[in-house]
Structures are given as structure tokens and as C-alpha cells.
Amino acid sequence: MITGLFRASGASIVLENNTTFNERIQELAGLIHEGFNYISYEEARRELLLWISETTGLNAIKLRVDPPELSEEQWSSLESFAVRRSMGMPFAYLLGRCHFYDLELAIGPGVLIPRPETEELVDRAVAWTEERIAESTEKLRILDLCTGSGCIGVATGHALKQKMNQRKLPKVELDIALSDESAYALEYARVNSDAYAEPGLHFSIFEGDLMAPFRKEKAPPFDLILCNPPYVHPDEIPLLAPETYLHEPAEALFHNDPPALYIQIIRECLPFLSDHGVIIMELSQFVYQVVSMLCENEFPDCTYRVEKDLSGKQRFLIFACNSHP
């Protein structure tokens, strides 16, 4: 029988049936908070319970109501997690995986951790591709540029393939290229794409700076190019969470001139964009106006628009050009 105090709001639950468990959790939460005070005590406690849930399969809610008896090996794992988390190491890196667009993806130090707003880029990619498939296309080529873990390309391909398997979309061949200049990141992209590849959904890996690998191979055009480039200016570091700028790869986060990078990406992509093809890129609310002006000046015969994410921030550049090299 559980005894204790349940507050009406449900926000706090004080349990007494396993004081050893709760006392040790409190101590470890304090260790995390004291070592990295950007993580609150309550957040640290939630993460400890989530770590137990993720590594043991125990229900996270049940852990709060009916704490289990953990083995010393499990406590040792939890203590190791607490020590590394107290140094600011991101939760996803410690766990070795993260959830993105209903997928579980391998992740680790040296690779950008996928963000929730990037799921909205996948939403747009899936919606555009659905319309293209409705036009009786037999095969689609998609490029995930600056792919990192491969999250955008893998999630887009998997979502479309699921709709095809459920007969919500006609079946077409999906050929998805994942490209990055980081060989280390591409190892994660390879693991993630291998995990979700299936007949009719093919992934290929390319290493190099932007479109250089495709120029070298004289690759055929892509119907859709997706890109989440490094768009944070170094001056914006104070706006980031410390665990982000301390531990995530700088080359995947920062660029000294983000607007110029967007124009360079578009220039390099245009020769590889099919007729009626589209480029969808994630961008920062701080640069969208400059990027828009540059697009208007540099590509007067093309069309573009910037769309907001669910939080109301200008986040996605949608670019199309029917008259390109």
C-alpha cells in the first residue's frame, strides 16, 4: 500500500514507501543541480527517473508512484549518469539515442541533437512530396544536405513509406541522399538510415562540403532538397543553452555569415534541382529578413517564402526556381 501526500495539482508527489530510493534520487538530483545549475533540481529529478525508465524499460510514471528496488549495478549506472550530467553533457548524448518524428535515432557527441522545430521541416517535406506523388511520379530523389545524424532525410523517407504501406499514398521509389562534410556525423547517419531502409526506400551516403560530392559524380537532379545548415552567429551564443554551446559540434551550429551561407547553398543546389523542384531550409528568426532580401536580389526569376514555426518564429525558407542552370 502506498502512503504519502498527493497534492491536488498533481505537480508534487511525496512518497514514503521507499525512502531509500527517493533519498538516493534526491542526492543525485542535488549533485546534478550543484554541478550544472542551469538544470533545476526538479528537472534533474525528472531526468534521473527518465534515465531509469529508458535503461530498464520501467514505466516512468510508475517510478514516481511505486519506486522499484534497483540493483547496485543499476544504481552505479545512474550515479555515472548523474556525474556526467552534472558536467552539462546533454541527456541524448549520455543515452546514445533520441526520439525524432516518432523514430528512435542513434546520437552521440560530435553530432547535432535533432530539435523539435526541425520536425516541422519534415512536416513540410512530407506534405510537398505527397503532392508530387499525386502527380503520378514513379520515382523521387531527395537530398538531405548538412544531414548530421540523418534525422531529416530518414524521418521524411520513413513517414512517406509508412503512408505507402498503409495505402494512403501510391507506391513510388524513394531515393534519398544524406550528405555532410563530417565523416563522424555520417557514421550516425549510416546507422540510422540502415535501421529504417526497406524495399522502395533507399538511402545513400555522401561526404563533402555542400554540393561538392554531387558535382564530382555529376549526379542527376533532385526533386526535393532539404537542409538545416549551421545558422547561429557566434554573437548569439548567450542565447543558447550552455549544454548546447559547450558540448554540441560548433561546425554544425555556428557560421560567421549565415545569410551568405544560405545564398551559397542555393547557388550550389540550383544546378541539381529538377524542374518544379523545391529547396526547404531551416533558418533563424534573426536572419530571415536579410536572407529574403538577398534571395530577391540574387534570384529575381525564382520564388521564395518564409514560414513560421508553431511558436510563431520565422523558421523555414521555401525556395523554387523553374529557370535555373
pLDDT tens per residue, range 259-279: 999 999 999 999 999 999 999
Provide mean pLDDT across the span 85-102: 95
Q: Is the pLDDT score of 94 beyond 70? A: yes
Q: What is the pLDDT of residue 4?
A: 34
**Mean pLDDT, rounded, of the chain:** 90
Of the candidate CATH numbers 1.10.10.1200, 3.10.300.10, 2.60.40.1180, 3.40.50.150, the domain formed by 97-320 belongs to 3.40.50.150
Whole-prediction pTM: 0.89
Q: Is the pLDDT score of 299 beyond 90? A: yes
Helix (H, G, I), strand (E, B) or coil at 232: strand
Q: What is the pLDDT of residue 265?
A: 98
Provide mean pLDDT across the span 166-173: 94
HSE toward the beta carbon, residue 17, CA cutoff 13 A: 13
Q: What radius of gyration do the chain's Cα atoms show?
A: 23
Cα distance between residue 291 and residue 122, in whole Å: 21
Q: How do residues 125-162 score in pLDDT, each as one tens digit?
A: 999 999 999 887 789 999 999 999 999 999 999 999 99
Window from 11-25, 205-219, 242-256, 274-288 with minimum mean pLDDT: 11-25
Q: How do residues 283-292 score in pLDDT, each as one tens digit?
A: 999 999 999 9
By C-alpha distance, which of 215, 52, 223, 19 is closest to 129?
Answer: 223
Question: How do the domains of the chain map onto residue ranges?
Answer: 4-88, 97-320
Percent of the chain with pLDDT over 90: 81
pLDDT band per the 50, 70, 90 thresholds, residue 61: confident
Window from 46-60, 109-123, 268-282 with minimum mean pLDDT: 46-60
Provide mean pLDDT across the span 98-106: 96
Window from 31-35, 112-116, 132-136, 248-252 with minimum mean pLDDT: 132-136
Cα distance between residue 44 and residue 41, in whole Å: 5
Cα distance between residue 161 and residue 153, in whole Å: 12
pLDDT band per the 50, 70, 90 thresholds, residue 323: low
Q: How do residues 4-55 score in pLDDT, each as one tens digit?
A: 332 333 333 333 445 588 889 999 999 999 999 899 999 999 999 999 999 8
Provide mean pLDDT across the span 186-197: 98
Give the contacts of 322 (CB within 8 A, at least 6 positions apart).
275, 276, 302
Q: Is the pLDDT score of 3 beyond 60? A: no
Q: Is the pLDDT score of 172 beyond 80? A: yes
Q: What is the pLDDT of residue 173?
A: 95
Q: Are 2 and 207 in contact (CB under 8 A)?
A: no
Q: What is the pLDDT of residue 29?
A: 95
